[in-house]
Amino acid sequence: MASIKFFTRTTSKDSMSVIHVTISLGRGKQFYLNSGLKVFNDAWSNTTQGIKPRYRYSEIYTQAMGSQLETKLLALRTFLMSKIIDDVQGTLTKEHIQNLIYEFHHPQRTYKKRRNDPDEHCPKRETLLQFIERYVQEIESGKRLNNKKLRYAYYTIKNYKGFLVQFKLYCQVKKQKFDFDDIDLKFYDTMVAYFTNKGYSPNTIGRHIKELKIIMRTAYDEGLTDNKIVENRKFKVLTADVENIALSEKELDKLANVFLGKHETELRQTRDVFLIGCYLAQRYSDYSRINPAMIKTLDSGEKYIDLVQKKTGTRVQIPLNPRCQNILEQYNYQFPKLANVTINKNIKEIARRAGITENVTIHFIQCGEKRETTLPKYELITTHTARRTGATNMVLAGVPIEECMAVTGHKSRAQFERYVKISLQQMLTKLVNNPYFKTGGSYNPMLSPETLLNQFKLFMSSMFANQQQ
């Protein structure tokens, strides 16, 4: 006996969601589809498969909207059941039923198509590639918002656009149009291998996998697929520790004091914007847009910056130290606009002139192999070095971890600690000045860097624990 069941998935009460339909045709033949209808979550009951019997309507979701939905649900149920009854041979497939649902909602469009070409089927459901294209278009236009009901950040949109390009290239290389049902563990393995052979790092590959997982989950929630393979533990996002650098206070002084000619206006502006980023421990998207409206003054006279971070929407308030305030005053708290790529190029030249030239060996994974390279430190400086520098120098200065996180906007200690980049020499200095080693501990100056690193990690963990108490 065939059955039709309508239901929703979400538990969020204050938003609209898709109504899904499960159609059971007997003998294990069951299809899960998008009904093409939506409902205000708080008004819906999966038990009655309709509006709650005693639901209190409001201006957000009116009684007329509820009545209209109930009418459409009854009409759709009747329409589908009649098609199922007419299918004596039992040839209905999921695709056929999805097309029938489309026909129910767009009778005129379907009629015109069949009148022009009687043999042409009604429009098919959206493919995976079409959905990715629509998803990217909607996050760029602002039609689709993130989980915080905010528009997606510029770099997030850029990443999704990059994934769309890579997905299309992958389909071309494999000479196959991958659809929702084609995404499985074999697809995962071959795509990871494809990116690895292209020389992509694990973190870049992981970012693309993460974007695919989000898109597949969204498609599942919107009733476009019942494929949940991305929830399999083997369908994991690859990650690898990245060896980034931070600048010490002495190196910041070198940047501040480096000679720049009178006509090198762009270099001076770059240096000043970058230093502000270091003192504030913010992202480029935040420290590059400082303006007078963000400057506040306490009753005691001290100035601070009050801003809402562009990426996360987190509000942070940051005291201005004298060096930071002095730079801001030179620009009347309004920096000139400098592109990210411009700062990334200029800051390397400035750091080279400032003598930040020590060789740094970094380890990384490329083409599935562990590799290393040695570069002068100035080559590794980017706009994001400023944020890591600020976080690191606050920790080295003894600022309590919770207060550091209040400045950076991090929500968890684990996230924050990834930004702290402390060198072995800085670790050694901390250990030497620690009371344990000053008052009869078994400090040995011949300890290896690895041993010092382990001891310092224990020391830092205990320091963080004491701060939390």
- Window from 119-123, 422-426, 438-442 with minimum mean pLDDT: 119-123
Mean pLDDT, rounded, of the chain:
85
pLDDT for 428: 64
pLDDT, mean of residues 99-106: 84
Structural contact between residues 21 and 39, judged by C-beta atoms closer than 8 angstroms: no
Q: How far apart are CA 20 and CA 323, in angstroms?
A: 59
pLDDT-derived band at 47 (thresholds 50, 70, 90) equals very high
Distance CA 196, CA 204 (A): 10
Neighbours of 190 (CB within 10 A): 12
Buried b (16+ CB within 10 A) or exposed e, 454-467: ebbeebbeebbeee
Phi and psi dihedrals of 154, rounded to 5?
Answer: -55, -45
The whole-angstrom distance between residue 179's C-alpha and the CA centroid of its chain comes to: 24
Choices 1.10.443.10, 1.10.490.130, 3.40.50.10240, 1.20.1090.10: CATH for 249-421: 1.10.443.10
- For residue 401, the model assigns a pLDDT of 87
As a whole number of angstroms, the distance between CA 348 and CA 383 comes to 10
pTM for this predicted structure: 0.60
The gap between the terminal CA atoms of the chain, to the nearest Å, is: 64
Tens digits of residue pLDDT in 113-145: 444 554 444 445 689 999 999 999 999 999 998
What is the per-residue pLDDT across 156-180, written as a single tens digit (0 to 9) for each? 999 999 999 999 999 999 999 999 9
What is the rounded CA–CA span in Å between residue 306 and residue 288? 14
Indicate the CATH number of 128-231 among 1.10.3470, 1.10.357, 1.10.150, 3.40.50: 1.10.150
* 213 neighbors 227 (Cβ within 8 angstroms): no
What per-residue confidence (pLDDT) applies to 112?
43
What is the average pLDDT across 345-361? Answer: 94
Statement: residue 103 has pLDDT above 60: yes
Q: Is the pLDDT of residue 61 over 70?
A: yes
Residue 378 — very low, low, confident or very high, per pLDDT cuts 50/70/90? very high
DSSP string for residues in 32-95: EEEEEEEEEGGGEETTTTEE-TT----SSS-HHHHHHHHHHHHHHHHHHHHHHHH-TT----HH
Mind listing the pLDDT tens digit for each residue in 177-195? 999 989 999 999 999 999 9
HEC letters along 207-253:
HHHHHHHHHHHHHHHCCCCCCCHHHCCCCCCCCCCCCCCCCCHHHHH
Residues paired with residue 317 on neighbouring β-strands, in sequence order: 306
**The predicted structure's pLDDT at residue 118:** 43
pLDDT tops 50 at residue 227: yes
